[in-house]
Structure 1
Amino acid sequence: MTIDAPLDMRPTTAVPPAPANGLLTSPILPTLLNLALPNAIAMVGTTLVAVAETAYIGRLGTEPLAGIALVFPFVMLTQMMSAGAMGGGVSSAISRAIGAGNRDRAADLALHAAMIGACAGIFFTVTMLIFGRAFYTLLGGRGGVLEQAMQYSHVLFSGAMAIWLVNTLASVVRGTGDMRIPSVTLIGTALVQIAVGGALGLGLFGLPRLGMAGVAAGQLTAFTLGAIFLIWYLVSGRSRLALNFKGFKFQRDMFFDILRVGAVACLSPLQTVLTVLIFTKILAGYGTATLAGYGMGSRLEFLLTPIAFAFGVASVPMVGMAVGAGLVTRARQVAWTAGIAAGIAVGAIGLIVAAMPSLWVSLFTSDPGVTAAASSYLVWAGPAFAFFGMGACLYFSSQGAAKVGGPVMAGTARLLIVGGGGAWLASAGAPAWTLFALVGAAMVVYGLGTALSIRLTRWSK
């Protein structure tokens, strides 16, 4: 006769515990820095592409330089919408699903995100091919300058889907907490763009000199290759998400999960572009030297933006996973840590150039009028860079929590202050320094308004 062992003494098969999610348990600041570094490198690389493009377009002549100035706001809008706004919505939805332990949902969200990116790219292609000439004419494009802009625009926006797919799929991978692959992809894309665009635009190495069309073809080629690589990476099983094409079904709630963050966040790039366009139009009435000085000062602001974005993009999966797991207190700690770090990093540089503007201005000009205007801009706006950096970073953190309305409203306030206040000052004949001080005040309002909105908004799973 055999005697059954007591139930609690019977041998059992050990089930290995699920691997811990480091983004939910690791110390916040070191983890943020580890995630932010590859993003910063990739974004600086993207910025250097703009510098390189400007350099070899300058060799094509004055009209091409003026033409690219007309197209640039729309290129910037495409990039900011696909990478920062809708991309943030994609990373947010995926990271919240992973934080809640639902990787199947995260994989399905990735496929829905790809469809959104493809459709948005087609929309940009159709819009710019049909209305591009009207947009550039509205901005003042005429004659040869307009034709140069159209040569670049037609080629570039014919492949807008590639740009959207690269940034959308990179955001999918970032949503899993992997910042390395998106950064490597963007750096590779930047290198290909510089090499191919320069070679085709200037006719190097025996290639035909295609001018502006060749420069745009470089960007189109680079992003097409980047999109192909990211598709391969996600489909090959090497990513942290196992995509299931056979069991895929269209689900309206998944589109809504992405769009309720990404679509609202798309208002922020629109506000940024409008702010730049309106303020540039206002300053044009103050003369060439003042306008050039503002452009020189704002260029530094543009180069500092990747620092804030690096911390912000790094915070999205950390906040999203924490919210998905119900760790709302940790999610808020991540957001505040990222915002303060970005504010300190950007603000320190702002204070240095405000105290010694010649460190930056002397790199570009020795013209007394331009130097005076640029120095005045940095003196008045530089101390406010910290608030801009903090606000831009917290905007991304709020995407992780799917609570982006407040930061968008803060951006609206900045637009109204710069547009309305600038127009009033210009009509009153106020000196240029008052306009620069207004820009600084608008940055302070944006940063504090974003922080206040996050403080007052209830975050929950």
Structure 2
Amino acid sequence: MVLFTHPIRKDVTRIAWPVLAEMLLGSLFSMIDMMMLGRMKDTAAAAASVAAVGITNQPLFIGLALVQSLNVGGTAMVARFIGSKQLHKVENTVKHVILLNLVLFAIPLSLLGFIFTNQIMTFMGAYADTVEIGNLYFKIIMLGFIFQALNFSLAACLRGAGDTRLPMKVNLGVNFLNVFGNAVLIYGLFGFPQLGIIGAGISTSLSHLLASFILFSYIFKGKSIVSLSLSSFQFRKDTMYNLARIGIPASLEQISLRLGIVLFARIVASLGTVTFAAHQICLSILGLSFNPGQAFGIAASALVGQSLGAEKPSKAQEYAQETRKIGSVVSSCIALLFFLFGPQIVGLYTRDPEIISSASLALKVIALVQPFQSSQLILAGGLRGAGDTFWPLVATFIGVLGIRVVLSYVFVVIFGFGLVGAWMAVFLDQLARWFLVYTRFQTGKWKYVALR
């Protein structure tokens, strides 16, 4: 009961639980999607399909990371304006975020992915069987990317205002329909053709389109804290300055992160299709464990931004510290499950004993990552909510490019540690990032970042 009556904890859980529920169930839906592909009757096609999804996810995530860099600015600005009662500035900020993301990232990157599909997949280290089976899937996913980017932008602005329930309801609803659509189109149920991985791509892209329609319908009808109208767009230099000041370091952080992940994926891909399929299963499971840190990090961003907007820096620090405590407990419980029940969890994805053995051993290393990963995600979320995006950039650059990529090459290629060696490098990367972000947070300098 104390968790829900303490005022700080009550605010944290009010904002964090819808995000956590959305992310956990969204990750479970994503895991189910991969399980469906991994358990197709043709085991060779199943392994190639899982690997193709993993290969496709990397450039897709780069695009989403760039979108999110502008969204970080949108979340911080909306939170500040809500906290300082400058509600008249919120709508125009949201319009800036949406239009800039469409023009700078969503549309251009979608076209590039559609046109240069084979070249991108080959660069990512895909083998010929993976490119052949994943080509059309990649094209379909990149068309859906435009709507996915829109959804991310709207959700980020809503969360900055503390409205985490609307994105949760919409995403859970369309994800449920996506899982159903995947089953129908992958396996050819109810008279539909059996499309395999192509069916998964069609269902996923249609779900993003549906989510965009629902979100915009709610917002235009004024059913949320953040509302939009068809009034003319007013370009504002101060808004652009704030988005650039917050967004440029955030975008560089995301570029560093995704570049590092791409290089990391290429190193693991050198181990072969079966091992890379095991790696993708580990990444899918890891996505589940990221969720508490990300959810409480989003809560920290909103609450820190609103507190600083209301000129209450000490309260902002309380919010950040409380979100870290709760999020870390949740992540540690998930870590324990990974450590104890790795083979059983991996067995949900595949029947291949080699993949199960390799992935479940890597899961034990992933379990050790959890406390440091959760802490750095939450504190970095607090820093971003304050508009302090430079130090998360430094931490990511050093951790991912300086430690993860270099050590994974050493452990995998030189020492021959295999998949476990790759995940040992991830553990050391997360440890370094936690140390740098925690050190910056302890200085308290983030409390004095000013926005126009």
TM-score range, shorter chain: 0.7 to 0.9
Q: 1:133 offset after TM fit, Å?
A: 1.9
What is the rounded CA distance, in whole Å, between the counterparts of 1:417 and 1:371 in structure 2?
27
Instruction: Note if contact 2:293-2:328 (Cα within 8 Å) is conserved in structure 1.
Output: yes
Structure 2 residue 10 is the aligned partner of structure 1 residue 30: yes
Partner of residue 325, structure 2: 340
Q: 1:440 offset after TM fit, Å?
A: 1.9
Q: Which amino acid aligns with 1:386?
A: P
Q: Which amino acid aligns with 2:225?
A: R
Instruction: Note if contact 2:127-2:273 (Cα within 8 Å) is conserved in structure 1.
Output: no
Equivalent residue in structure 2 for 1:424, among 395, 405, 410: 410
Distance 1:280 1:242, change over 3 A: closer
What is the rounded CA distance, in whole Å, between the counterparts of 1:282 and 1:242 in structure 2?
45
Equivalent residue in structure 1 for 2:88, among 101, 104, 123: 104
Q: 1:102 offset after TM fit, Å?
A: 0.6
Q: 1:105 offset after TM fit, Å?
A: 0.6
* 1:250-306 CA-partner distances (Å, limit 9, x unpaired): 113213323432343234444444444433443456678876665555443221111
Distance 1:212 1:282, change over 3 A: closer
Distance 1:233 1:224, change over 3 A: same
Partner of residue 94, structure 1: 78
Q: 1:165 offset after TM fit, Å?
A: 0.9
Q: 1:43 offset after TM fit, Å?
A: 0.9
Partner of residue 263, structure 2: 278
Partner of residue 173, structure 1: 158
What is the rounded CA distance, in whole Å, between the counterparts of 1:208 and 1:108 in structure 2?
45
Distance 1:353 1:223, change over 3 A: closer
What is the rounded CA distance, in whole Å, between the counterparts of 1:56 and 1:296 in structure 2?
12
Instruction: Note if contact 1:376-1:436 (Cα within 8 Å) is conserved in structure 2.
Output: no
Q: 1:387 offset after TM fit, Å?
A: 0.7
Q: Which amino acid aligns with 1:37?
A: W
SS class of match (1:238) = coil
Partner of residue 207, structure 2: 222
Equivalent residue in structure 2 for 1:449, among 430, 436, 444: 436
Distance 1:153 1:293, change over 3 A: closer
- The CA RMSD measured in Å over matched residues stands at 3.0
Partner of residue 151, structure 1: 136
Structure 2 residue 3 is the aligned partner of structure 1 residue 48: no
* 1:314-370 CA-partner distances (Å, limit 9, x unpaired): 222211111112112211221222223222321343356447756656666798866
What is the rounded CA distance, in whole Å, between the counterparts of 2:339 and 2:193 in structure 1?
46
Instruction: Note if contact 2:188-2:194 (Cα within 8 Å) is conserved in structure 1.
Output: yes
What is the rounded CA distance, in whole Å, between the counterparts of 2:130 and 2:267 in structure 1?
22
Instruction: Note if contact 2:125-2:270 (Cα within 8 Å) is conserved in structure 1.
Output: no
What is the rounded CA distance, in whole Å, between the counterparts of 2:276 and 2:142 in structure 1?
29
Instruction: Note if contact 1:114-1:168 (Cα within 8 Å) is conserved in structure 2.
Output: yes
Distance 1:435 1:147, change over 3 A: closer
Q: 1:453 offset after TM fit, Å?
A: 2.0
Instruction: Note if contact 1:107-1:243 (Cα within 8 Å) is conserved in structure 2.
Output: yes
What is the rounded CA distance, in whole Å, between the counterparts of 2:93 and 2:208 in structure 1?
22
TM-score, normalization by structure 2: 0.85
Q: Which amino acid aligns with 1:97?
A: F
Instruction: Note if contact 2:246-2:388 (Cα within 8 Å) is conserved in structure 1.
Output: yes
Equivalent residue in structure 2 for 1:124, among 87, 104, 109: 109
Equivalent residue in structure 2 for 1:393, among 378, 383, 399: 378
* 1:93-114 CA-partner distances (Å, limit 9, x unpaired): 1111111111011121112122
Q: Which amino acid aligns with 1:49?
A: F
Structure 2 residue runs of 5 or longer lacking an equivalent are 1-5
Q: 1:380 offset after TM fit, Å?
A: 4.2
Q: 1:210 offset after TM fit, Å?
A: 4.4
Distance 1:197 1:262, change over 3 A: farther
Structure 2 residue 443 is the aligned partner of structure 1 residue 459: no
Equivalent residue in structure 1 for 2:249, among 264, 278, 282: 264
TM-score, normalization by structure 1: 0.84
Structure 2 residue 297 is the aligned partner of structure 1 residue 309: no
What is the rounded CA distance, in whole Å, between the counterparts of 2:428 and 2:9 in structure 1?
29
Instruction: Note if contact 2:289-2:335 (Cα within 8 Å) is conserved in structure 1.
Output: no
What is the rounded CA distance, in whole Å, between the counterparts of 2:351 and 2:231 in structure 1?
64
Distance 1:359 1:211, change over 3 A: closer
Partner of residue 237, structure 2: 252
Q: Which amino acid aligns with 2:436?
A: G
Instruction: Note if contact 1:297-1:377 (Cα within 8 Å) is conserved in structure 2.
Output: yes
Partner of residue 315, structure 2: 330
Q: Which amino acid aligns with 1:94?
A: V
Instruction: Note if contact 1:353-1:359 (Cα within 8 Å) is conserved in structure 2.
Output: no
Partner of residue 9, structure 1: none
Distance 1:363 1:224, change over 3 A: closer
Q: Which amino acid aligns with 2:75?
A: S
Structure 1 residue runs of 5 or longer lacking an equivalent are 1-25
Distance 1:253 1:355, change over 3 A: same
SS class of match (1:219) = helix
Instruction: Note if contact 1:89-1:262 (Cα within 8 Å) is conserved in structure 2.
Output: yes
Partner of residue 140, structure 1: 125
Q: 1:442 offset after TM fit, Å?
A: 1.9
What is the rounded CA distance, in whole Å, between the counterparts of 1:196 and 1:372 in structure 2?
31
What is the rounded CA distance, in whole Å, between the counterparts of 1:287 and 1:137 in structure 2?
14
Structure 2 residue 45 is the aligned partner of structure 1 residue 68: no
Distance 1:445 1:348, change over 3 A: farther
Instruction: Note if contact 1:88-1:396 (Cα within 8 Å) is conserved in structure 2.
Output: no
